[in-house]
Chains A and B, each alone.
Chain A
Amino acid sequence: MTINKEHFRRALQHSPFHSRLAALSLTEEWTGWNGYKAARTLDKLSTEYFAVRSSCSVMDLTPMEKYRISGKDAFRFLDRLVTRDLSKLKPGMVTYVVWCNDDGKLIDDGTLFQLDEDQYRLCSQHHQLDWLLISSIGFDVNIEVETHEVAALAVQGPTAYSILTEAGIDGLADLKPFGIAQLQCNGFPLVVSRTGYTGDLGYELWVDPKHAESLWDALFAIKPRLDIHPIGLSTLEMVRIEAGFIMPGFDFNTAESTIRADYDRSPYEVGLGWLVNLDKGHFTGRQALLAEKARPVKRRLTKIYVDGNKPVREAFIFDAKHGKQIGEIKCATWSPILKANLAIADIEFVNGKLPPQLWARVDYQRELKWLSIWAECRVSDKPFYTPEHRSATPPANF
C-alpha cells in the first residue's frame, strides 16, 4: 500500500465496504480497529445477534492483518513459527495456529491459509510484520503485508450457505470446515474459506478491494427473500464467547506488548495446549514450553458459567475454600440462546489444580446504584455453544 502524505487528516481509514456499512448503520456507533473505522453496532444488539444465530450476518473483516508468505522455505518458515504441526496442511486448507516468543509466551493467534504450493496467507489480529521478519532469518521466504490489498467479509449464520449460493457463488456445497475454494461471483474472482469466529455455519470471503462493493451488493440483493444483516464488533464479542474463542490482547496480553514480568501468557495457560506439538521439529518457544509442561500448571484461561443473570464483566474470582482471590474474568456475555452468563476467566491454580469451588464477586448497577453479589461459577470443558449445523456438509439449504 502506498500511503500519501494526506493520511494525517483522518485517524481512521475507511474500509472498501465503508459506503455500504455507513448506509445501513442506524446507530452510527463506530470504533477503531487496526486503523480502520469499524462498526461497534449498526442496529439493536439483539437484532444483530439473532442474525448470526438464526439467519445470516455479514461482518467487515478487512482490518484483520493479512500477510502473504511465499517462497521456497515458506513451509519450513511457518512450521518453525507456529506451535502446531503443519505437516497435514494442504493447498486449499486453513488451520488455526498460535505462535510464541522465545519464552514460549503467546504473540498472537491467527488462521493460516494454504492457497497453493509455497503460497500462504496468515491472518491475525495484531501487527506481525516485525515478528515475521525477525523469524525469517535463515529462511528463503518472502513476506508481504496484504492487509489493505485484500478486502474480507465474514458471512455467518444458518442461512449463510443459501445466501452465498443464491448470490451466484457456486461450488460451496462440498466445502468442508477449514476448506478453501477459489470461486467466482458475478464475474469476479474471490477466495472463500469455511472459517469464522462465531461458532455458527459460516464463510469468510476474500476479494480484491475493487470488487468489495459489488460483492456486498450481490449478497444484499438476496435480502428480500432471505434476511441478511450487517453486524458490528459488539455482536461478534457475544458470539465468539459463546463459541469459546479467545481474543489476544483482550483475554490475555500479547507477549510483544507486555511490560511487566509474568503478565504474558503461554498457549498452555490460555487453554490452547492442544495446539502445541513438542514432537515436531524446532519451533520458537519449544524449549520454554517443554520446561513449562514439566512444571505444575500455574494458571489457565477457563470457561465458566456464572450463576444468575447479573452482567459479570470485570469481576474477581475467588477460591471458595480459602476465600483467596485467584483470578479475574477477562470477557463475559449474557447468552440469549442459552439464557446463561458465560465468561472466560484467568484463574490461578492451587498446587497445579483448578480449585473445585469458584465464586465470582459481581459488581453491577441498578439505576446508577452499585450493588454487589456473590455468584457461583461452574467450569465448562467445552465451548458453550456448538450447533450441529455448523459443520454439516453440504449445509442445509433454505
Chain B
Amino acid sequence: MNNYDAIVIGAGHNGLTNAAFLAKAGLRVLVLERNPYIGGASTSRELHKGWKYSNASYVCSLFRPEIYNALDLGRHGLRVIPVNSSMTFKQDGDYFGSYTQPNIRRREIMRHSPRDADAVVRFDADVLRWCKLVRGFLLRTPPNPGSLKPRDIFELAYLMKKFYELTEAQIYEFIRFFTMSIAEYLENYFENETVLTHYSGGSIIGTGLGVYSPGTAYVLLHHAMGDVDGNVGAWGFARGGMGSVAKALAGAFQSYGGEIRSDAEVAKITVAGNKVTGVELASGEKIAAKVVVSNLDAKRTFLQIMDEADLPPKVVQRARNFKIRGSSGKVNIALDGMPTFPALPEGSTLTQGHMHFTDTLKRLELAYDDWKEDRWSADPYCDMLIPSQYDPSMAPQGKHMMTVFVQYCPVNPDGGWTDEKRDQFGQTVIDQIGDYSPDFKDLVLHAEIRTPRELENEIGLTEGNIFQGELTFDQLAFNRPFPGYAQYRGPVKGMYMSGSSTHPGGGVMGAPGANSAREILKDLRKPDTTPEAYSDD
C-alpha cells in the first residue's frame, strides 16, 4: 500500500496551491481529483473542437503575487494579462466605458457626469485604503476571538494595530464600508445612474445578495483588491484560459515530487479515534495518510465525505447552516467571428474588456428579486468577455471565444432544473446579448450553458456557489467557515480545510490554500514554505 504524508482532496487551485507548499517542504503529497481533468473551477476544456473555454472561473486578479513568486508559476507557464477596460451598454443606445488609461477614463466619466469624474479621486483613495488594509490580512490565519491562546491574542493584537493605523474617522468609514450596501456606498461618491450601476455590478457577482443589501460594499474588495503588476484593481486574464493557473500550479507541485491522481473520487475521509487515517475512494480503494486536506467546500466536506459519527454535532449543524447559495450561471460561447456592437464607435477598445448590459440599479435589484423567487433573472446581469481578441490560443484564427458570467441563476427553480430549462436560461442570456449585437446570434457555433446544477455536478461546488460560501460578515475571517474552525484545522486531528470556504474566501486567489499549508506545516513542525505578504508600505 502507498504511503503518503498528506492527501489533498480536490485539484482546484487552492488544493494544488496547498499541495505544492506541502510538497515543497519535503512531504510526500497526493492530490486526488474526481474529474478526469484538474483545476476544479480553474479549468479550460475543449468542448467544441478548436475552442478552449474557461468553463467556470474566467478571470484572475486576486491571485496572490507572493504565491505566484514562491511557486515559480511564471516558469511553469502562467501568464496573466491585464484586462483593459470594462463597460456598460445603456438602453438609450449610449454606453459607459471604464478605461484603464486615466485621462480617457476621466473624460469618459465626465461625459456622463463631470461631478463623478472628480469624485473618482476620492473614491479611488478610499477603496485603495481599504484594499491596503484588507490585503494585509489575506495571507494570515484569522485569530479566534474566543480563544486565550497566546497566538490568537498576538494575532488579534496585530490586527488591532493595523486597524489603529487608520485615523478615527477612517475606522468608522471602514466599518461603514464593511456594513453598507454597494449602492448606498457608491452614492457617497457618485450621482450618475450608469456610473453607479457600472461600479455596483462587481459587488453582487457570486453572491446571494442584491445591490441594496448591506454587506455588499465589502464584496467590491474581492474584485478590486487584486493587482496585476501594481495596477490595483486590475483584472487579469490567464493566457490559455483559467486552466493555465491549474496547469502551472500542478507543474510546480509535480516539480516538488507531488503526485496527482485524477478520476479518483474520494468517498470518505477515514477516521479512527478522532484522528484521520486516510481516505477511501469511491472505487473502494483505501489510501492512508496522517494528514488529509479537504479542498471541497464546507458543506461537502462535513456533510458528504465525512461521517457524521466522526464529527461533533455542533460542526454538523454549522455545516448545515453554512450559507452557500448558488446564484450564478455561466454561458461559454464559440463564435464564428467577432460580433459587432453598433453602440460602440468603430475601433473602440471596449470590446476587449468586461461588457455589461445592465444600466440601472433598479434592473440590478430586480434581477435579484427574481432570484429570491427561485427564478432566473429575466433581465440578468452579465459579465461578458471575449478573451480570444488578445489570446490567440483560445480559438482558431478569425474565430472567437466568449465567456459570459450570469447573475442571477437559482439553484432550484420551480420543479428543479431540466436540460430544457437550462437551455431557456441560456437563451435569455443570448437574447440579451443579441439586443446589443445584431449579428451575434448568427455567429454562435456552440454554447456551453452552466447553471448551478452543472457547476455543482461537474466541479463539485455545492449549489454552484463560486465562492464556496457567501462572503457576508457572518462567514468571513474568524467566522469562515464557522466560528471556532477558522484556522484551517478540522474537528478531527490531521484533518484540514484549504478551499475557498476558508479565510479569506473566494476568487482565484490561492490564499486559503497557502494559509492552510502554513498551519499544517506548523503542526508537523516542518519548515514554513509559504510566503509572507508583500508590504504596501
Whether the complex brings A and B within 8 Å at their CB atoms is answered yes
Question: In the bound complex, what is the Cα–Cα distance between A30 and B169 (angstroms)?
Answer: 40
Please determine whether A3 and B110 come into contact, CB atoms closer than 8 angstroms. yes
From 96 to 140 in chain B, residues with beta carbon under 8 angstroms from any chain A beta carbon are 97, 99, 101, 103-104, 106-108, 110-111, 114-115, 117-119, 121-122, 124-125, 128-129, 132
Please determine whether A11 and B345 come into contact, CB atoms closer than 8 angstroms. no
Query: Given that A103-B169, A259-B132, A261-B170 are contacting pairs, would A7 and B122 also be in contact in the complex, using a CB cutoff of 8 Å?
Result: no
Please determine whether B349 and A8 come into contact, CB atoms closer than 8 angstroms. yes
Q: Is B418 an interface residue (CB 8 A)?
A: no
- Chain A positions within 8 Å of B111 at CB level: 3, 5, 7
Please determine whether A145 and B121 come into contact, CB atoms closer than 8 angstroms. no
- Nearest-Cβ distance from residue A3 to partner chain B, whole angstroms: 4
Number of A-B contacts (CB under 8 A): 73
From 1 to 37 in chain A, residues with beta carbon under 8 angstroms from any chain B beta carbon are 1, 3, 5-9, 11-13, 32, 35
Please determine whether B103 and A127 come into contact, CB atoms closer than 8 angstroms. no
Question: In the bound complex, what is the Cα–Cα distance between A128 and B107 (angstroms)?
Answer: 15
Question: In the bound complex, what is the Cα–Cα distance between A150 and B444 (angstroms)?
Answer: 51
- Nearest-Cβ distance from residue B91 to partner chain A, whole angstroms: 16
In this complex, which of B99, B103, B111, B537 has the most chain A Cβ atoms within 10 angstroms of its Cβ? B103
Question: In the bound complex, what is the Cα–Cα distance between A256 and B119 (angstroms)?
Answer: 9
Q: Is B321 an interface residue (CB 8 A)?
A: no
- Nearest-Cβ distance from residue B22 to partner chain A, whole angstroms: 36
Question: In the bound complex, what is the Cα–Cα distance between A355 and B122 (angstroms)?
Answer: 35
Please determine whether A7 and B125 come into contact, CB atoms closer than 8 angstroms. no
- Nearest-Cβ distance from residue A255 to partner chain B, whole angstroms: 9
Please determine whether A145 and B114 come into contact, CB atoms closer than 8 angstroms. yes
- Chain B positions within 8 Å of A3 at CB level: 107-108, 110-111
From 139 to 178 in chain B, residues with beta carbon under 8 angstroms from any chain A beta carbon are 165-167, 169-170
- Nearest-Cβ distance from residue B237 to partner chain A, whole angstroms: 21
Question: In the bound complex, what is the Cα–Cα distance between A379 and B415 (angstroms)?
Answer: 81
Please determine whether A129 and B104 come into contact, CB atoms closer than 8 angstroms. no
Interface of chain B: mostly helix, strand, loop or mixed: helix
- Chain A positions within 8 Å of B117 at CB level: 127, 129
- Nearest-Cβ distance from residue B255 to partner chain A, whole angstroms: 38
- Chain B positions within 8 Å of A12 at CB level: 103
Residue of B nearest to A145 (CB): B114
Question: In the bound complex, what is the Cα–Cα distance between A26 and B125 (angstroms)?
Answer: 38
Please determine whether B121 and A7 come into contact, CB atoms closer than 8 angstroms. no
Query: Given that A35-B106, A103-B169 are contacting pairs, would A257 and B125 also be in contact in the complex, using a CB cutoff of 8 Å?
Result: yes
Q: Is B283 an interface residue (CB 8 A)?
A: no
Question: Per a CB cutoff under 8 Å, which of A5, A127, A130, A256 touches B345?
Answer: A5
Question: In the bound complex, what is the Cα–Cα distance between A261 and B104 (angstroms)?
Answer: 30
Please determine whether B107 and A35 come into contact, CB atoms closer than 8 angstroms. yes
Please determine whether B118 and A127 come into contact, CB atoms closer than 8 angstroms. yes
Please determine whether A6 and B345 come into contact, CB atoms closer than 8 angstroms. yes
Question: In the bound complex, what is the Cα–Cα distance between A5 and B345 (angstroms)?
Answer: 7
Q: Is B2 an interface residue (CB 8 A)?
A: no
- Chain A positions within 8 Å of B535 at CB level: none
Residue of A nearest to B133 (CB): A259
Question: Per a CB cutoff under 8 Å, which of A32, A127, A259, A262 touches B125?
Answer: A259
Residue of A nearest to B124 (CB): A257
- Chain A positions within 8 Å of B103 at CB level: 11-12, 32, 35
Question: In the bound complex, what is the Cα–Cα distance between A246 and B220 (angstroms)?
Answer: 37
- For this complex, into which size category does the number of interface residues on chain B fall? 20 to 34
Please determine whether A259 and B128 come into contact, CB atoms closer than 8 angstroms. yes
- Chain B positions within 8 Å of A257 at CB level: 121-122, 124-125
Q: Is A133 an interface residue (CB 8 A)?
A: yes
From 120 to 164 in chain A, residues with beta carbon under 8 angstroms from any chain B beta carbon are 126-131, 133, 145
Q: Is A258 an interface residue (CB 8 A)?
A: yes
- Nearest-Cβ distance from residue A22 to partner chain B, whole angstroms: 19
Please determine whether A261 and B118 come into contact, CB atoms closer than 8 angstroms. no
Question: In the bound complex, what is the Cα–Cα distance between A258 and B115 (angstroms)?
Answer: 19
Residue of A nearest to B129 (CB): A259
- Chain B positions within 8 Å of A103 at CB level: 167, 169
Query: Given that A7-B108, A11-B101, A35-B103 are contacting pairs, would A129 and B125 also be in contact in the complex, using a CB cutoff of 8 Å?
Result: no
Please determine whether B121 and A130 come into contact, CB atoms closer than 8 angstroms. yes
Question: Per a CB cutoff under 8 Å, which of B94, B121, B167, B347 touches A127?
Answer: B121
Query: Given that A7-B108, A35-B107 are contacting pairs, would A129 and B115 also be in contact in the complex, using a CB cutoff of 8 Å?
Result: yes
Question: Per a CB cutoff under 8 Å, which of B122, B128, B165, B170 touches A130?
Answer: B122
Please determine whether A130 and B97 come into contact, CB atoms closer than 8 angstroms. no
Question: Per a CB cutoff under 8 Å, which of B104, B118, B348 touches A128?
Answer: B118
- Nearest-Cβ distance from residue B54 to partner chain A, whole angstroms: 27
Question: In the bound complex, what is the Cα–Cα distance between A7 and B110 (angstroms)?
Answer: 11
Please determine whether B128 and A8 come into contact, CB atoms closer than 8 angstroms. no
Please determine whether A256 and B115 come into contact, CB atoms closer than 8 angstroms. no
- Nearest-Cβ distance from residue B480 to partner chain A, whole angstroms: 27
- Chain B positions within 8 Å of A145 at CB level: 114
Please determine whether B349 and A130 come into contact, CB atoms closer than 8 angstroms. no
- Nearest-Cβ distance from residue B101 to partner chain A, whole angstroms: 5
- Chain B positions within 8 Å of A102 at CB level: 169
- Nearest-Cβ distance from residue A285 to partner chain B, whole angstroms: 13
- Chain A positions within 8 Å of B119 at CB level: 130
Please determine whether A258 and B108 come into contact, CB atoms closer than 8 angstroms. no
- Chain A positions within 8 Å of B169 at CB level: 102-103
- Chain A positions within 8 Å of B122 at CB level: 130, 256-257
Please determine whether B125 and A258 come into contact, CB atoms closer than 8 angstroms. yes
Residue of A nearest to B165 (CB): A261
- Nearest-Cβ distance from residue A371 to partner chain B, whole angstroms: 29
- Chain B positions within 8 Å of A262 at CB level: 167
From 164 to 194 in chain B, residues with beta carbon under 8 angstroms from any chain A beta carbon are 165-167, 169-170, 189
Please determine whether A8 and B108 come into contact, CB atoms closer than 8 angstroms. yes
Question: In the bound complex, what is the Cα–Cα distance between A128 and B94 (angstroms)?
Answer: 27
Question: In the bound complex, what is the Cα–Cα distance between A103 and B122 (angstroms)?
Answer: 15
Residue of B nearest to A12 (CB): B103
In this complex, which of B111, B118, B170, B345 has the most chain A Cβ atoms within 10 angstroms of its Cβ? B118
- Nearest-Cβ distance from residue B520 to partner chain A, whole angstroms: 35
* Chain A 224-235 interface mask (CB, 8 Å, partner B; 1/0): 000000000000
Q: Can you list 10 residue pairs at the A/B interface with Cβ under 8 Å?
A: A5-B345, A6-B345, A8-B99, A35-B103, A103-B169, A129-B115, A130-B115, A257-B121, A257-B122, A260-B132
Q: Footprint of A on B, CB under 8 Å?
A: 94, 97, 99, 101, 103-104, 106-108, 110-111, 114-115, 117-119, 121-122, 124-125, 128-129, 132, 165-167, 169-170, 189, 345, 347-349, 537
Supply 5 further A-B pairs (C-beta < 8 A) apart from A7-B108, A261-B167.
A8-B99, A8-B348, A131-B118, A257-B122, A257-B125
A-B residue pairs, 9 tightest by C-beta: A130-B118, A127-B118, A130-B119, A3-B111, A129-B118, A35-B103, A261-B167, A11-B103, A259-B129
